[in-house]
């Protein structure tokens, strides 16, 4: 994980360093605490300047300061992980490997072929000095953040950065679309004193019919959010990147997931572990579940082993516990996604190494009361509303040895239950269940100080809720149980595994049921295709900025290219059966896989979003809708500070 930034000026009267504010440098350093460097390239005869700023989080091979520069004056900034496609040895650094490959490229096609071959998350900036070209972009899913900001026509400057900062000019930042790779001909731009971007888009195949029409649609979509003085064009040769996954299988067949018990219709199908066992008695279902386990297991393996482990490092958190420090953490609610990731991580993380399970809870706002009319629950749902007298809700830091019921939110309860399941699967593993408790006061403080800049340029109530929950969870500061007492603990893990991508591909959200009820499997297919298509702009850039702020790297096993291709190969009826009730039908293939892995009660937990499970949703306002613009995320300009 790194913080990368590039500023380019075309005949500007301002010093190029003025475009990189101190607060942005601070944000970038937090992403990359192990090395920080800057490099300025001035091309006087063409009247352009480039400033490159690199900030490195050391995860693989030797520490490799960025930006990298070679004998031909090429410059490279890399924020990514190569898990497959290009060979990276166990002791090698992928930044150096990528730079070596790029420097040997002799054409645009060579560069596109290189990036088409990669598997793993990345964003990059590459200055190709001999051709005065600046290349940049994000991977197919947009798993790494990259923002751009264009100054006005007078300054004729633009900036690319992993994270934004305060803006004196008022020019807005936007996320670089994960639509392909962009190239800027700096020589031509300096000559015309205007800015033009060339796009090389992602396609499943550049031989597809109507490819030109598709290119034009992508061009229009990206262009609509650019300032009027910034031009976007398609490369003249109609070159493209090859998508790293196969297209979604949209075949519609009659749902094969009829409840296996002849005593029940699908509507009344019992939500139980026994029902999953009956599904697994069907040879086809069992085979698919095992195939899914195999491909997801490999994805998790790559993400927990591609990591430098210093055998001499020891933890200083709790002396009486394991002397080994955790290198891997899981954003952990006890739900099906995080349980499967934790169970698979257990197969590959060295047996003597702890795994940190990061479980966040926000102090409940008020006492939950049973009123005259009780909320109706279906038979398989568990009532998680707990009585919590407000006067007993004290800051746990004041008495770390006692348990505070004010943080017994739904995700805390399912998290503890999930911990017991994992301990049953592998009792010899040290599972650090990290109880991360957040008060309203700390939430407000850290949102203002840090989180609002990381969520930006997103700005909805939903972004606020999810962003704040993930920030506190990934920080990893909380309490773990040590011989029956809660002791302060801060997770040292640099890699944070998260389950994002499971719901988007396996129909995990309630809106998927609504869509299925209204438009059937055809409508559901369209919805799932849209979910994955927009995940870069709705989720991943934000989550990358949030988690990286702690000098940690987010890794997404469910968005591994092989996992996505496997799931895309299946008809939707093999992945989910929304004629079955909640807790069974959504993410059915994942539930079956979980049962095969030895998990129990967690396999039939219904989906619960983090904003509700952690109880952050509506903590400050009960009248807001998720899609509303969140006033709490307002960024202050430099003049207001």
- As separate numbers, helices (DSSP H) first and strands (DSSP E) second, the chain gives 20, 21
Instruction: Determine the Cα–Cα distance for residues 386 and 367; give it in Å rounded to an integer.
Output: 8
Write down the residue that tokens 């090395």 correspond to. 35
DSSP bridge partners of 160: 6, 148
Check: CB of residue 40 under 8 Å from CB of residue 16.
yes
Check: CB of residue 504 under 8 Å from CB of residue 346.
no
Cβ atoms within 10 Å of 567's Cβ, excluding its own: 27
DSSP letters, 87-134, are ---TT--HHHHHHHHHHT--SHHHHHHHHHH-BS-EEEEEEEGGGTEE
User: Closest by alpha carbon to 602, among 301, 279, 335?
Assistant: 335
Structure tokens of 363? 């102090």
User: Closest by alpha carbon to 553, among 622, 606, 476, 497?
Assistant: 497
Instruction: Determine the Cα–Cα distance for residues 524 and 515; give it in Å rounded to an integer.
Output: 6
End-to-end CA distance of the chain: 29
- Which is the catalytic residue, given 2, 388, 393, 406? 2
From residue 328, how far is each of 59, 345, 437 by CA, in Å? 12, 8, 20
Instruction: Determine the Cα–Cα distance for residues 308 and 184; give it in Å rounded to an integer.
Output: 35
Check: CB of residue 496 under 8 Å from CB of residue 331.
yes
Please tell me whether residue 150 adopts helix, strand or coil conformation.
strand
**Cis upstream peptide for 67 (omega within 30°):** yes
Write down the residue that tokens 């590039």 correspond to. 6
DSSP letters, 505-544, are HHT-SHHHHHHHHHHHHHHHHHHHHHHHHTHIIIIIHHHH
Check: CB of residue 31 under 8 Å from CB of residue 59.
no
| Catalytic (active site) residue 2 | yes
Structure tokens of 208? 């597809």
Check: CB of residue 441 under 8 Å from CB of residue 364.
no
Structure tokens of 12? 């500007």
What Rg do the C-alpha atoms of the chain give, in angstroms? 25
Give me the phi and psi of 43, to 5 degrees please: -110, 90
Check: CB of residue 253 under 8 Å from CB of residue 575.
no
DSSP bridge partners of 490: 477
173-175 and 147-150: which strand pairing? antiparallel
**Cis upstream peptide for 157 (omega within 30°):** no
Cβ atoms within 10 Å of 101's Cβ, excluding its own: 17
Classify residue 84 by its DSSP letter: B
User: Where are the strands (E) in 186-327, listed by range?
Assistant: 195-203, 230-234, 241-242
User: Where are the strands (E) in 337-473, listed by range?
Assistant: 355-362, 431-438
Angle, helix 461-475 to helix 541-548, in steps of 10 degrees: 40
Check: CB of residue 532 under 8 Å from CB of residue 133.
no
Element (H, E) at 24: helix 22-31
Annotated active-site positions, please?
A: 2
């Amino acid at each position: 994980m790194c913080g990368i930034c590039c500023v380019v000026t075309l005949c500007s009267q301002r010093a190029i360093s003025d475009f990189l504010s101190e607060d942005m440098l601070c944000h970038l350093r937090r992403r990359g605490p192990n090395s920080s460097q800057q490099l300025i390239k001035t091309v006087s005869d063409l009247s352009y300047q480039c400033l490159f700023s690199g900030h490195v989080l050391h995860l693989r091979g030797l520490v490799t300061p960025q930006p990298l520069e070679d004998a031909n004056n090429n410059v490279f900034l890399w924020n990514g992980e190569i898990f497959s496609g290009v060979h990276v040895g166990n002791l090698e650094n992928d930044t150096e490997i990528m730079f070596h490959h790029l420097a040997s490229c002799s054409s645009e096609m060579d560069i596109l072929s290189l990036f088409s071959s990669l598997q793993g998350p990345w964003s990059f900036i590459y200055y190709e000095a001999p051709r005065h070209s600046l290349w940049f972009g994000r991977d197919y899913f947009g798993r790494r953040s990259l923002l751009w900001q264009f100054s006005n026509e007078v300054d004729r400057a633009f900036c690319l950065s992993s994270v934004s900062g305060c803006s004196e000019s008022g020019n807005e930042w936007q996320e670089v679309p994960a639509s392909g790779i962009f190239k800027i001909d700096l020589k031509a731009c300096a000559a015309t004193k205007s800015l033009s971007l060339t796009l090389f888009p992602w396609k499943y195949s550049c031989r597809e019919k109507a490819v030109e029409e598709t290119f034009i649609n992508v061009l229009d979509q990206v262009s609509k959010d650019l300032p009027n003085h910034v031009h976007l064009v398609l490369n003249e040769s109609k070159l493209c990147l090859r998508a790293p996954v196969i297209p979604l299988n949209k075949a519609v067949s009659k749902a094969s997931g009829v409840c296996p018990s002849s005593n029940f219709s699908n509507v009344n199908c019992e939500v139980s572990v026994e029902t999953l066992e009956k599904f697994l008695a069907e040879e086809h279902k069992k085979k698919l579940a095992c195939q899914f386990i195999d491909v997801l297991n490999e994805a998790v393996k790559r993400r927990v082993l591609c990591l430098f482990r210093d055998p001499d490092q020891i933890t200083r958190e709790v002396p009486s516990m394991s002397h080994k420090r955790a290198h891997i953490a899981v954003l952990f609610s006890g739900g099906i996604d995080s349980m499967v990731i934790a169970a698979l991580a257990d197969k590959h993380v060295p047996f003597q190494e702890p795994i940190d399970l990061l479980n966040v809870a926000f102090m409940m706002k008020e006492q939950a009361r049973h009123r005259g009319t009780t909320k109706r629950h279906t038979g398989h749902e568990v009532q998680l509303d707990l009585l919590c007298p407000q006067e007993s809700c004290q800051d746990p830091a004041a008495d770390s040895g006692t348990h505070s019921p004010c943080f017994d939110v739904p995700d805390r309860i399912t998290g503890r239950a999930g911990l017991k399941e994992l301990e049953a699967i592998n009792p010899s593993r040290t599972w650090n269940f990290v109880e991360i408790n957040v008060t309203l006061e700390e939430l407000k403080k850290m949102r203002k100080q840090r989180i609002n800049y990381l969520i930006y340029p997103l700005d909805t109530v939903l972004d606020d809720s999810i962003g704040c929950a993930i920030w506190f969870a990934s920080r990893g500061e909380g309490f773990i149980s040590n011989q029956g007492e809660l002791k302060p603990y801060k997770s040292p893990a640099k890699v944070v595994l998260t389950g994002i991508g499971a719901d988007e591909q396996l129909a995990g959200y309630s809106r998927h049921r609504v869509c299925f009820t209204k438009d059937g499997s055809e409508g559901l297919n369209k919805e799932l295709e849209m979910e994955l298509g927009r995940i870069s702009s709705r989720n991943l850039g934000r989550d990358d900025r949030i988690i990286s702020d702690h000098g940690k790297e987010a890794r997404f096993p469910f968005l591994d290219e092989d996992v996505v291709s496997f799931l895309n190969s299946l008809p939707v009826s093999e992945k989910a059966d929304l004629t079955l009730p909640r807790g069974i039908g959504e993410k059915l293939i994942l539930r079956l896989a979980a049962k095969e892995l030895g998990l129990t009660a967690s396999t039939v937990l219904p989906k619960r979003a983090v904003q509700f499970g952690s109880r952050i949703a509506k903590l400050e306002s009960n009248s807001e809708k998720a899609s509303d613009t969140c006033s709490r995320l307002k960024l202050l300009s430099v003049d207001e500070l």
